[in-house]
A = this chain, B = another copy of it.
Amino acid sequence: MSKTTRMTVEQAIRQALREEMLRDPTVLLMGEGSATKHRDLVGDFGPERVRNTPLAEAIIAGTAVGAAASGLRPVVDLLFAPFMTYAMDALVNSAGKLRYLSGGQFEFPLVAMGLTGSGWCVGAQHNHNLEAMFVHAPGLKVVMPSTPADFKGLLKAAIRDDDPVLFFTDLALLYQEGEVPDADDFVVPIGRAAVARAGGDVTLVGYAKTVGVCLQAAEQLAAHGVAAEVIDLRSLKPLDEETVLRSVRKTGRLVVVHEASGLCGMAAELAALAATKAFSSLRAPVVRLTGPDAPTPSSWMLEQQVVPRPEAVAEAALGLMADQPVRAPGREEDHRMVENAV
């Protein structure tokens, strides 16, 4: 294997941006504070390619769409995901649809970055996992890594991709460290999930911060003699159905874990996948352990409650091993389960 360097997710993102800007002169970085935050990139690539923008998400995203269709590869930082609501027309109606409606006349090689998730006690107008909205919208790709290596490799892939990619960063991961390959040509293909831990008894699927939650749950399950397979989706769209189905067909048990609301979320999609394409292999009900269908509170005490905990994942998995029905709502931690949150 090639050499690696230990770094944080935040450093991995910076490296990916730098490498791709070096590699391709059409790559452009824009956002509210992008130039302030990336002084070094301004220095190396000039103010034309690294821009602070006016505080106006709609025109930032729209400009990215127009530029992408005209020979540039813009990366726009939209800061916190809920601010993307201002950019929704540009992303959903323009970037996602105009290639199709024009009969393939245009390509939109752009990346729109956003922060999601709990950890900073900033409340629902900053903390909202709305990635599934973009999965539901046509013509877009959605990426949401969990390790520094994947952040680097997938951001590089997203910048090189000829389609619009939504790149979400779970802010709780920003300063998490990991080994990242040094090779310039290190790229992680969009659309491939990773088996973060192999196991034959139950499949735990997560993405972003819940991959760690599932891995901890797998440790706890191992202590009970249960071998859990943990899948890190990495890309939400296109979804790596094969990897998920292969695992579910092997284990017959599926627990999907994410922080976003489960209602029409990825957990719904994966449960549907199992129920439609791996039904005959399923030995127990699918379990969704997700954030509640509610805005996220700021209060630290309440914010803590919305992220699924390893204990709850392990408990749910054990329930499936015992082939008990999914337990009824009402227990202390149940408000974290969509079954109860709806």
Contact = CB atoms under 8 A, between A and B. Distances in A.
A134 B136 CA distance: 11
A144 to B, nearest CB: 13
B138 A295 contact: yes
Contacts of A4: none
Interface stretch (A28-36, A106-114, A154-162, A280-288): A280-288
Given A136-B130, A138-B124, A295-B96, A264 B275 contact: no
Contacts of A282: 275, 279
A261 B96 CA distance: 14
B97 A295 contact: yes
Interface stretch (A17-25, A87-95, A212-220): A87-95
A276 B339 contact: yes
Interface string A277-307: 1011010111110000111011000000000
Contacts of A88: 85-86, 88
Contact of A276 (B237, B269, B271): B271
Q: Which of A86, A128, A138, A325 has the most C-beta atoms of chain B within 10 angstroms of its own C-beta?
A: A138
Contact of A264 (B96, B136, B241, B276): B136
A117 interface: no
B239 A342 contact: yes
Number of copies: 2
B265 A136 contact: yes
Interface in A289-342: 293-295, 297-298, 325-326, 339, 342
B339 A138 contact: no
A199 to B, nearest CB: 21
A136 B129 CA distance: 10
A306 to B, nearest CB: 11
Contact of A124 (B100, B133, B237, B266): B100
A92 B239 CA distance: 26
A75 B309 CA distance: 41
A95 B124 CA distance: 12
Contacts of A279: 282, 284-286, 325
A238 interface: yes
B125 A101 contact: yes
A93 B125 contact: yes
A221 interface: no
8 contacts: A88-B88, A101-B298, A136-B264, A268-B272, A269-B272, A271-B272, A274-B275, A275-B282
Given A101-B295, A130-B136, 18 more contacts: A82-B92, A85-B88, A92-B128, A93-B125, A96-B295, A100-B124, A100-B297, A101-B124, A101-B298, A132-B264, A139-B295, A264-B269, A268-B268, A268-B269, A268-B272, A269-B272, A271-B271, A279-B285
Interface of A: 82, 85-86, 88-89, 92-93, 96-97, 100-101, 123-125, 128, 130, 132-133, 135-139, 237-239, 241, 260-269, 271-272, 274-277, 279-280, 282, 284-288, 293-295, 297-298, 325-326, 339, 342
